[in-house]
Amino acid sequence: MTEAERMIGTPDTPEGDGAEPERAAGQQGVGERPQPRGKRRIAVLFAVAAFAYLLDLGSKLLVVAKLEHHAPIEIVGDWLKFEAIRNAGAAFGFGEAFTVIFTVIAAAVIVVIARLARKLYSLPWAIALGLLLGGALGNLTDRIFRSPGVFEGAVVDFIAPKHFAVFNLADSAIVCGGILIVLLSFKGLDPDGTVHKD
């Protein structure tokens, strides 16, 4: 085959049929995003979510059984107490008139995280999304199964710092996951493991 034929391809070669020539391992085309390496981190995401969810659920069951309708327990003087509160609003007691809306938002967050999991290769993102998922599931469980009714249930809060709103472990997981996502975004790390610089 002459040099000209090799460059333009002929009908009986892959190049001549319009097929893209094979690339060497690790090689990428111009303008393409680098392909993520390593295993997907779905297992880490769901393990973190399960841990956060079970820890939150267990703490709420214990609070309802042992602390509700009882005097608060002082942990660090009056600076930190355990006090059972039923919260119909969002995290930290905001928006009590919009319980159903917050239930829908929590369900939407779970769906979005499940969709992101398909292209998740970053370990820090897996941890962050796992915390968000576990926290959202924890509070959504209260919304569905606790009184006064389905999708209107009040969340059990019990961690009461002085001069601050009462919250629970699900709220803590959501906040920690959110902070981690902001930090990862500032560092330019995407869920698929690639790094970009703006």
Any catalytic annotation for residue 171?
yes
Q: Which of 171, 190, 192, 198 is catalytic?
A: 171
Q: How far apart are CA 137 and CA 131, in angstroms?
A: 10
Residue 47 is which amino acid?
A: A
Sign of the Cα torsion 178, 76, 74, 59 reads positive
Q: Which of 17, 142, 157, 198 is catalytic?
A: 157
Task: At 6, list the tokens.
Answer: 């090799």
Any catalytic annotation for residue 157?
yes
Residue in this structure with the two tokens 């995280």, named with its chain if needed: 113
- Enumerate residues 6+ apart whose C-beta is below 8 A from 13: none
Among all residues, which ones are annotated catalytic? 157, 171
